[in-house]
Each structure stands twice: as C-alpha cells, then as structure tokens.
Structure 1
Amino acid sequence: MNEANATASGQPFMEVPATTLAARVHQFGGPECICVETVPTPAPGPGQVLVQVEAAGVGPWDGWIRSGNSALPQPLPLTLGSDLAGVVVAVGPEVATLKVGDAVFGVTNSNFTGAYAHYALAQASMIAIKPDALTAVQAASVPVIAVTAWQALFDKGHLKSGQTVLIHGGAGGVGAYAIQFAKNAGAQVITTASAKDQDYVRGLGADRVIDYKNEPFENTVKDIDLVVDLVGGDTQDKSFSVLKPGGFLVSAVSNPDQDAAARHGVTAFFFLVDVTSAALTEIAALVNAGKLTTRVGPVFDLDEVGQIHEILDGKQPRPEGKMIIKMR
C-alpha cells in the first residue's frame, strides 16, 4: 500500500486496493464451509472506518456464527471474525475520533463479523487507539474477552476497592483479565481453577485459588460481594449461597435463576458484551502502564482458517491462549 499526498481536508490518503482476501461462508455448517476468496474491498459508511487488518483474534463465537448457532441474525454470505488490530486507511462520514494512519484495535461491529480479511470495516465507536506496548498480534487478542471482563466487574457488578470478588474460571481468557482488573481496582480476588493453572492465576494477582475439582468452593468461602460466573451450570447455582445479601452474580454464560436470587437477597443476571471505544481506551491505558498482560496462543495464516475452526469445534486439541490470524 502506497501513501499518497495529503488530501485537501488535511487527512492523509492511503491507496486502497479494489479487492481483498477474506474468509467467508456462503452457507452455515462445519469448517469445510469456509472459503478464502477475493471480494471487493468495502468502503466505509457513516460512523465506520476501513482498517487494513494486521491481525484478527479468534473466539468461540466465530464457530457459533459459522455453524448457524449465533444468538444474532447473520445474513449470508458473511466474512467471519470480530477482534482485530490494524491501521485505519479510510474514514467514513460522521467519524471525528479517528484518522487515516491511526493504529487501532477493537471489534468490527455488533454482529461480530468481518475481521478475517486483509481489509475490514469497523464501527468507529467499537475501536480505539492500539496500546503502544502491544504488537498487533497481541492487541488482536484483547478486545472481546477483556471488555467482557471489564463490564462484568465494573459496569454490571459495581465492584469497588476493598470488596471481595469470586471469579469462576480464572484461567480462561475472560477470567484472566477479570483477575487482573479486579486486583488493579483494589479488590480481594478469589478464583476457581484446576490444579495445573494455580500458579498461572496467582501470577495474575489472585489472592486465593480454589481447586474446583477437589475443594467445593461453596463450603469454603462466604460473604462475597460479587461472583463473576464464566462457567454456568451447577457452579452458577451453588454461587448464590456464598454471596452476602445485596451482592451481585454476573454471568457471561447463561441466565441465572431469579427465584434463587430473590431467596438469597441478591441481584443476578446474564449479559452480552458491548464493546465500546471508552472501555477499550481504559484497557489500553492499563496495558501501557504495565498493569495488564495478554496471553497469545498459536498464530495462523489466513489460509489455515479451516484448521482453526476444527480446533473451535473440538476436533483438535484446544491450545492455551487466544488463537490469532496474522495477515501476511
């Protein structure tokens, strides 16, 4: 891509190719439904920017969308992927916060589609300036899972310094960020994890780690201000008994039992993440201050997308860390 002279508006201009490679599905199904093909490069509309994608993050929701199991309507054909990091190469109308040449990270849109491509449209309200401390590959691992953790703790769970939070599934992607955010906020952090992950979650800042396979958490903790549920099922059901009256149970997995919440005098609910520039900017500041670490897993090429989705479907072992597609 060649940078040309600045435009009359003062914005730099980048030459954008007419077509782009993208990993798309024309029908819902297994990994074999994905094809990497050449498509017209999209032009940004109002509130949008065009990003030259350097790296795209992979999440379980990509597999749900591909297979037709998304909770959201997904018109076909579509390009998969939501998490991305790259450089803004064109700006649509009504965008005042970003300019051509900005290095950014975030998600594409509220449908969580479009990022598995060399060029992708993104809502300007869902991306932010990339942390200087992170490479594009590292930055692409952050948005959805980090904002989920942030909103569970602060926007939904109203966590404050001095309170105690129990995070179920602390070694997972969302859980790892939740531990770090909570510790940075001055909370007492308890988490459940397997024995093999205890050192990892302690290194993230957990004050106490419960081996959920050998130590029933409901028998050993009490008076919890906030439970962040990233597991669901029986773990969620048993969490009501450890909360103090007036406490919160926030689940990113499933809808809690409202009758149980009423009996225990607590507030409990399920939420879907809403990735915003404001949340991403807060997270970027923590990264740049050295208060947040990322965990990147294997890095793939775009033409390996079928293998990635076999991993998502459980047909190959799931690696530790977030899988990333690096655009070559």
Structure 2
Amino acid sequence: MTDQTPTRTSEPPAEMPAIDAVGGPASDPSSMVDVTLPTPSPTGHDLLVEVDAVSVNPVDVKNRARPRPSDEPRVLGFDAVGRVVAVGEGAHRFAVGDRVFYAGQVNRPGSDARFQLVNENIVGPAPRTLSDAEAAAVPLTAITAWEALFDRLGLAADSEGTLLVIGAAGGVGSLVIQFAKALTRLTVIAVASRPESAEWVTDMGADHVVGRDFTADVRRIAPHGVDYVFTSFTPGNIDAIAEVIRPRGEVVSIDETGGSIDALKAKSVTWHWELMFTRPIHEPEDSFQHELLTRVAGLLDEGTIRSTLTTRLSPLDAATLREAHRLVETSQTIGKVVVTRD
C-alpha cells in the first residue's frame, strides 16, 4: 500500500493542536486532554515534522500514568510518520517535503501533536510502500529489536544457535523474530500464551512456539540449553531463564528485572540491557539510528520484513489516544496500535 498524504502549505501555523498527558488512568478523561501550543521552530540539526501517524508503546503508557512534573503541558509520543515542513540551519539529511519516520527521544516533547522537532540523526526515510499507519508501527520496536540482537548480543549473518523470545507477540518481540529469521541463522523459540498469539508469532517466522510455563518445552527443543534469550517480560521469569539457558549463554532485556538475577550466576550468564533512547540522549551526534532506520525502510520495501500494525484508530486527539493507551496497558495486544491524524 502506498501513502496518499495531502499537500502541505509551505509555512506552518503559529499554533498547533497537541495532547497534554496530565497523568492518571487512561479511563479518566482528564488523563489526556486536547490543548493548543505554539508551533516550534527548528534550529541546528532539528527537523520540524508535521505528524500524520503515531503508535503507542508500553513506554508511553508508563509515562502517561505518572503525574506530569509541573503545570506545563506534557506531550508524549515516540513513534511517528510525517513530512518535513522546515529544517534547522545545520540539518542536511532531509529537505522540506520528505516523508520520514522515527522513534524520538524521552527528554524532548513527543509526537502527540500536529508538529514535532526531532534531531535528523535519529530520523529515517519512511518506507515508500507502506501507509502512514503501517510505517508508524515500526521505528521504536525496530530500533530496540535491532540494537538488542546486533548491538547487545553481537549477532551477525552467520550467527547460529537458538534464541528464546519472551514477549514474542508484542511489538518488539515481533521484530526480534523477523530480524533473527531474515538476517541470521538462528532457530527461534517464541513464548506465546494464547492461541491468537501463537498464530501471530508463527506468522512472524518463529520455528517453535511454547506457552507461558515454557521450561519443559524449551528443554525438549534445546536439551543443551538455548544460546540467547530476549525478554520483555522479565519479572517472574528469571528462574525459568536460568533453567533453560546454556552455560555462558547471553540474555538481553528491555524491561526491569523485578528482583535479583543471581540465579544466572552459576552458569556464568551474560546479562545485557537494551534501551533505544541511550544514543539520542547521550550521543546526539551519533547517526546510527538514522542509518538503521534507512536500512529497515529498505527491508520493508523489499518485503524482507513486514509492519506489525494490528490496530488502527483515528483521529489523533486526546480521546482516541486514551483508547489506544487503554488497549496497550492491558498487555494483551498483539503487534502495534497506531493512531492516524486523518
């Protein structure tokens, strides 16, 4: 599907609609409210992007639930697809009119607004063959999955062995499976607790599917232990991971452990943390995520991997975002929830 985005005016308006994440449960109408804010202007390496679609991630849900730290409006949102409407004097990667996608960063105003400033070093060209909704489902999860596999675990095209994916039907897990199967020689075991989740991860390319209590099944599939574990549901699973991983195996986690990881010491297991916001916060001049998203866009256009969009909502306003947050915070969603502006 190709995108049919309306033509933009050359000069953005002085004010823009945005969504203020006040805090509290998504069921409370006051937790997210519509506001009008000044339209920002780009300087340096920033792009001003007119946002057409966003997706909601667990990090959005966690941040929204917390009370905002001041009376100033708090604009959340990370994943976005849109078109560049202005560029800073130091920006050179994109021009006005370019369609882009990105995952943003935690220490700047987010994508839940009509316009957003974003550093060009973390922006990629949007996939040509995907709609706005399909493309918006990808950036944050693709960056996280890619960094987890190829940065933290150091995997490569000739990597072999067995990878256990805990949280496999979620946005990141879905991309972990796809990258592992398309770009390595790994055998993938996916943990999926419901029939619809099992069907989804099989469609993503998993070689084996096991249930929530996975230790016996994983030991049957990999009797000498799995080589690698990716986990986005770590609390309560440390002992199970310790049982199924091989000696000197490696784990990469994108969430908190919820307790001690001492159970892994006996096997000399290596534990990696992955946070895709590390580069944007601490190394803003690093263009790794720009290059990564450019490659991911190519993989999507080639059909090597696919979007993980499963739910599309509209329009991009406070009421719709509250519903998207409600869906994501159940931890029962498969793939990604996306909200489009039109």
Shorter chain as normaliser: what TM range? 0.7 to 0.9
SS at match of 2:262: helix
Partners of 2:332 and 2:262 in 1: how far apart? 36
- Distance 1:180-1:24 versus aligned 2 partners, 3 A rule: same
Structure 1 gaps of 5+ residues are 5-13
Judge conservation of contact 1:218–1:238 (CA < 8 Å) in 2: no
Provide the residue aligned with 1:190 in structure 2.
Answer: 189
Say yes or no: does 1:326 pair with 2:324.
no
Tell whether the 8 Å contact from 1:218 to 1:241 is kept in structure 2 after alignment.
no
Query: Deviation string for 1:77-113 (max 9, x for gaps)?
Result: 2212111001011111321212111110002333364
Contact kept in structure 2, 1:229 and 1:251, CA below 8 Å: yes
CA distance in 1, matches of 2:334, 2:202: 17
Is 1:175–2:163 an aligned residue pair? Answer: no
Task: Give the 3-state SS of the residue equivalent to 1:262 in structure 2.
Answer: helix
> Identity percentage over the alignment?
32
Whole-Å separation in 1 of the counterparts to 2:273 and 2:177? 19
Equivalent position amino acid for 1:289 in 2: E
1:286 to 287, 296, 299: 299
Assess if the C-alpha contact under 8 Å between 2:200 and 2:334 holds in 1: no
Question: Which one is further off, 225-234 or 256-265?
Answer: 256-265
Match of 1:139 among 135, 140, 147: 135
How much has 1:195 moved relative to structure 2? 4.5
Deviations 1:37-81 (A, max 9, x none): 2211111122210001111111122222222279xx899422121
Quote the Cα distance in structure 1 between the aligned partners of 2:63 and 2:131: 27
Cα distance in 2, alignment partners of residues 288 and 46 from structure 1 = 31
Match of 1:8 in 2: none
- The 2-side partners of 1:232 and 1:195 are apart by 18
1:110–1:195 CA distance, 2 compared to 1 (3 A): closer
Cα distance in 2, alignment partners of residues 112 and 236 from structure 1: 34
The answer (yes or no) to whether the contact 2:198–2:209 under 8 Å persists in 1 is: yes
Which SS does the other structure have where 2:305 is aligned? Answer: coil
**1:179 counterpart letter in structure 2:** I
Q: What is aligned with 2:283?
A: none
SS at match of 1:111: coil
**Which residue does the alignment assign to 1:87?**
83
Q: Taking structure 1 as reference, are residues 21 and 247 closer, same or farther at Cα in structure 2, changes over 3 Å only?
A: same
Distance 1:175 1:30 in 2: 26
1:231 aligned partner: 233
CA distance in 1: counterparts of 2:335 and 2:198, whole angstroms: 16
SS in 1 for 2:236: helix
Gaps of 5+ in 2: 1-5, 281-288
Query: How far apart, in 2, do the equivalents of 1:289 and 1:2 lie?
Result: 27
SS in 1 for 2:251: strand
Partner residue of 2:313?
299
Cα deviation per residue 1:6-34 (whole Å; 9 max; x = unaligned)? xxxxxxxx221111111113x43334232
**Residue aligning to 1:30:** 25
Aligned counterparts of 1:3 and 1:86: Cα–Cα separation in 2: 11
Per-residue deviation at 1:175?
Answer: 0.9
C-alpha separation between the residues in 2 aligned to 1:76 and 1:87?
A: 27
- 1:263 pairs, out of 263, 266, 277, with 266
2:210 corresponds in structure 1 to 210
Does the CA-based 8 Å contact 2:56-2:77 persist in structure 1? yes
Q: Which region of structure 1 is more displaced relative to structure 2, 82-91 or 93-102?
A: 93-102
Q: Tell me the residue number matched to 1:67.
A: 65
Task: Please state how far the C-alpha of 1:192 moved relative to its aligned partner.
Answer: 1.2
- In structure 1, distance between residues paired with 2:153 and 2:67: 28
Superposed displacement of residue 138, structure 1: 0.8
**What's the TM-score once normalised by structure 2's chain length?**
0.83
Distance between the aligned counterparts of 1:188 and 1:60, measured in 2? 27
Moved more, 190-199 or 79-88: 190-199
Greater RCO, 1 or 2 (C-alpha within 8 Å, sep 6+) = 2
1:266 partner amino acid: V
Residues 55 and 84, structure 1, Cα contact 8 Å, conserved in 2: yes
Q: CA 1:74–1:66 in 2, change beyond 3 Å: closer, same or farther?
A: farther
> Which one-letter code corresponds to 1:153 in the other structure?
L
One-letter amino acid of the counterpart of residue 198, structure 1: A
CA separation in 2, counterparts of 1:170 and 1:231?
Answer: 10
Tell me: CA distance 1:325–1:46, structure 2 relative to 1, closer, same or farther (3 Å): same
Matches within 5 A, 1:154-169: 154-160=150-156, 161-169=159-167
Three-state SS of the structure 2 residue aligned to 1:78 is coil
Aligned residue in 2 for 1:57 = 55
Q: Are the structure 2 counterparts of residues 313 and 87 from structure 1 closer, same or farther at C-alpha, using a change threshold of 3 Å?
A: same
Give how far 1:218 is off. 5.3
Deviation at 1:319, TM superposition (A): 4.6
Q: SS in structure 1 opposite 2:150?
A: helix
Q: Does 1:120 align with 2:116?
A: yes
Q: Which runs of 4+ in 1 moved over 6 A?
A: 1-4
